[in-house]
Amino acid sequence: MTGIKRQSEKHLIVASGRAFPELADEVVSLLGVELVPTRALTYANSEIYVRFEESVRGADAFVIQAHPAPVNEWLMEQLIMIDALKRASAKRITVVSPFYPYGRQDKKHAGREPISARLIADLYKTAGADRLMSIDLHASQIQGFFDGPVDHLIALPVLEEYIRTHYPLDNLTVVSPDAGRVRLADAYTDRLGAPLAIIHKRRDPNKANEVAVGEVVGDVRGRVCLLVDDMIDTAGTITAAAHTLKEHGAAGVIAAATHPILSGPAAERLNSAPFEEIIVTNTLPIPDGVNVPKLTTLSVAPLIAEAIRQIFEDGSVTSLFQGASL
């Protein structure tokens, strides 16, 4: 026999950026491993430096980074971590971005605009990523932007389980806050066995740059309405929808969203809106200074941990969602 034959075991490592280390700590705890010791610095001129303090050669590496504000800083840190892993001879690098940065810029709405979501995918690939994992992409077509396997995880089972155990389903109506979220709302109706209603937003011709929340398509009077969306940013759309539902006779309004961006006036709007509860996940940290007493945060760490385990063991990620799809 010529050559050298080496028996070696696969080696899983998990690295975390500094944006939301608490999520990464929960993930590695569930996996029964520790985070790779990492030295990360931000210099006085805002440049970022990263060094892994143990060998990653031949490893199956997963790089977890949340992308709250400032998004660009945390994105750059993740790209630098990927580059460091590639140059240190990691065998495979999987990007774990629970909230995909620039995901809302997935197509051109007018001439001379970028498709920034595609640019982010190209940056990940150029840095050295082999695989991408994210939760509830704003647009499913983003999966096609990355030249490699994309694991599109779904938070619906996590949110559904909580709703089932805390609210009676016989008086529940799932509501899409606008036409763009109907497909998401439809997935909730399939899982919960609840009817669907849609809020039709129309522009007031007498007011420039303002959206008037108008008609409710479906029966909401006397029912508990579950408003669903993939994210809550400034909370303008979802709070306006909540007021509209109450005006149309809803007995109660709750909200469920995967990504709690909660920018600017979000806390004030949510606190003044007629919500019984606002249910989100921890794909992003709740920003400092944001206090919303009615906010409930569910963890997606078990979902991420199991997806990492399935990828590492060459198993099935799709099997985690019990037939759910978006």
Nearest-5° angle of CA 175, CA 281, CA 240?
A: 35
- Is 109 annotated in a binding site? The answer is no
Active site residue 10: no
| CA 284 to the chain's CA centroid | 7
Tokens read off for 287 = 């920003």
- Is 83 annotated in a binding site? The answer is no
Neighbours of 82 (CB within 10 A): 27
- Is 105 annotated in a binding site? The answer is yes
Check 10, 107, 201, 294 and give the catalytic one. 201
- Is 151 annotated in a binding site? The answer is no
E strands present in 239-310:
252-260, 277-281, 295-298
**In b/e form, how buried is each residue of 144-167, taking b as 16+ CB within 10 angstroms?**
ebbeeebbbbbbbebbbeebeeeb
Q: Which helix (H) or strand (E) holds 304?
A: helix 301-312
DSSP 215: E
- Is 104 annotated in a binding site? The answer is yes
- Is 186 annotated in a binding site? The answer is no
Closest to 151 (Cα-Cα) out of 100, 107, 189, 101: 100
- Is 229 annotated in a binding site? The answer is yes
- Is 237 annotated in a binding site? The answer is yes
- Is 291 annotated in a binding site? The answer is no
- Is 46 annotated in a binding site? The answer is yes
CA distance 3 to 289: 62
**How deeply is 17 buried, as exposed, middle or buried, from its count of CB atoms within 10 A (0-12, 13-18, 19+)?**
buried
**How deeply is 283 buried, as exposed, middle or buried, from its count of CB atoms within 10 A (0-12, 13-18, 19+)?**
buried
Nearest-5° angle of CA 253, CA 320, CA 21?
A: 75
Cβ neighbours for 32, distance < 8 A, ≥ 6 positions apart? none
Binding annotation for ATP: 45-47, 104-105
**What positions carry a catalytic annotation?**
201
Binding annotation for Mg(2+): 138, 178
Binding annotation: 45-47, 104-105, 138, 178, 203, 229, 233-237
Binding annotation for D-ribose 5-phosphate: 203, 229, 233-237
